[in-house]
Homo-oligomer: A and B are copies of this chain.
Amino acid sequence: MPNTFGHLFRVTTFGESHGAGIGVIIDGCPPRIPISIEAIQFDLDRRRPGQSKIVTQRKEADQAEILSGMHEGMTTGAPIEILVRNHDARSSDYQEMQALYRPSHADYTYDAKYGIRSVQGGGRSSARETIGRVAAGAVAKQVLAHFYPELEVIAYCDQIYNRRSEVDPNVVQFSEVESNIVRWPKASEADELIKLIETVRSEGDSVGGIVGCVVRGVPAGWGEPVFDRLEADLAKAMMSLPATKGFEIGSGFGSVKMRGSEHNDPFYQSASGKIRTRTNHSGGVQGGISNGENLLMRIAFKPTATIAQGQETVSKSGESAEIKARGRHDACVLPRAVPMVEAMARLVLVDHFLRQRAIDWK
């Protein structure tokens, strides 16, 4: 339902950007899993505003408090509520929004849907809503690690504006991505990207890009053959993040220019006896189910809607007006989107892991 994601590992988020707080209930987490709050805080810090000079300067500690579901550092099987209080909410920045619809924001559509709107900070459409997702994703990470220590999910900026990383997702390293504030997988190039973003911001403008995401160590057999295909659930997960416009898995849109004879992934048996594919155009899924190869995804993010330039718009009553954003914002959302993408990938994976566990035949 609207604010719930997942079927067995079920996450429900709440909270507005400028309300009392933001958070999440995780229901269905298996018991007896050790959970470190530091690990949750680590991912929240990666997503946090003000973490570097290239992201929004809103000052929020984003300190997580676990209100329930834990006993002496372990999950109990009870719902886990994680709460982050808001502190630096500046409603005054958002006065104008009450009257004018910000282009490519959700102001107008909220009014159409609900007939009412928390004018401050975009309500549920704010990137702050993703705090709950990232916190839940950090729990999912620890659950997955408990059962599959080899499984790793790494997201990174694969393209910003017209600059592509051309990194090989199969070898990208978390430490290299995290070594630079732009989360560029080739650290030596990071300064160029930082400069690009700063230039765009100085022009009162914004840019988007593509987040790449690789999952290594997924066992074969997760997913479903029809509606809940692994790639379908991943697509939904990613397209539910703010500012996303596209999703692809494996060869993605590039598959279109290939012939079947090129695109098909031949099977072979590895030295260790495992059945593998020589290529991975499938992106780790076949018929909606993981085949044990790396999951490879790419997610397109549009340029941030909030820009400092004047733009044409209308008021609630339909009168023409010009609007210029004054709220703090990111000129490029990509670096902060990286932990969000990882979190969503993990929420999909842990859910399908539990689903498979329920019907496991081995």
The docked-state distance in angstroms from the alpha carbon of A354 to that of B122 is 25
Instruction: Decide: A225 and B357 in contact? CB cutoff 8 A.
Output: no
The docked-state distance in angstroms from the alpha carbon of A319 to that of B312 is 64
Chain A 61-93 residues near chain B, CB threshold 8 A: 65-69, 71, 74-81, 83
Asked if A265 is at the interface (CB within 8 A of a chain B CB), the reply is yes
Interface range on chain A (Cβ under 8 Å from partner): 35 or more
Could you write out 24 A-B pairs with CB less than 8 Å apart?
Answer: A4-B12, A8-B8, A8-B355, A13-B226, A20-B65, A23-B67, A106-B289, A108-B286, A109-B287, A110-B287, A112-B292, A113-B222, A113-B223, A124-B226, A159-B256, A208-B258, A232-B239, A235-B235, A235-B236, A245-B255, A248-B300, A251-B302, A275-B314, A357-B357
Question: Which residues of chain B are within 8 angstroms of A277 by Cβ–Cβ distance?
Answer: 103
Asked if A304 is at the interface (CB within 8 A of a chain B CB), the reply is yes
Instruction: Give the number of times this chain occurs in the complex, counting copies.
Output: 4
Residue of B nearest to A21 (CB): B67
Pick the residue among B200, B251, B311, B359 that contacts A266 (CB under 8 A): B311
Question: Among A28-36, A168-176, A187-195, which stretch is in contact with chain B?
Answer: A28-36
Residue of B nearest to A303 (CB): B260
Q: CB-defined interface of A262-280 with B at 8 Å, one 1/0 digit per residue?
A: 1111111100010101100
